[in-house]
Amino acid sequence: DTEVTQTPKHLVMGMTNKKSLKCEQHMGHRAMYWYKQKAKKPPELMFVYSYEKLSINESVPSRFSPECPNSSLLNLHLHALQPEDSALYLCASSQYRVSNQPQHFGDGTRLSIL
């Protein structure tokens, strides 16, 4: 079982809907990440939080809005998404946001935009 829990596992939404993806870890990690992965491609970094503060935004469109309410929880709020946003969204955490820390990933949320 993964130590990073993502919900929901699958999500289908229309372009006008608002939904949220949730990620939780209880390993005491202080860095958390959102990645987007298209089929047959590697994960692409979207956001990085360090000590609950946003430290990296990889020029992600504003229809994706991250939130880190506390050190264990990371949300990704979705609004007015486009069909090309359909992908696997992966959450990860690491002890700290430094180079030598391996990231631990969740199972992901498979998102389909109608």
Residues forming the site for another protein (CB under 8 A): 2, 40-43, 45, 48, 56, 88, 90, 92, 97-100, 102-108, 110
Minimum separation from the CB atom of position 29 to another protein (A): 13
Q: Are 48 and 31 in contact (CB under 8 A)?
A: yes
Minimum separation from the CB atom of position 16 to another protein (A): 27
Nearer Cβ to another protein (78/103): 103
Minimum separation from the CB atom of position 88 to another protein (A): 6
Residue 21: strand, helix, or coil: strand
Nearer Cβ to another protein (15/56): 56
Residues 30-52 as b/e (b if ≥16 CB within 10 A, e otherwise) read bbbbbbbeeeeeebeebbbbbeb
Minimum separation from the CB atom of position 42 to another protein (A): 4
What are the phi and psi torsion angles at 64 (to 5°)? -105, 125
Nearer Cβ to another protein (3/114): 3
* Of 26, 28, 34, 50, nearest in space to 89 by CA: 34
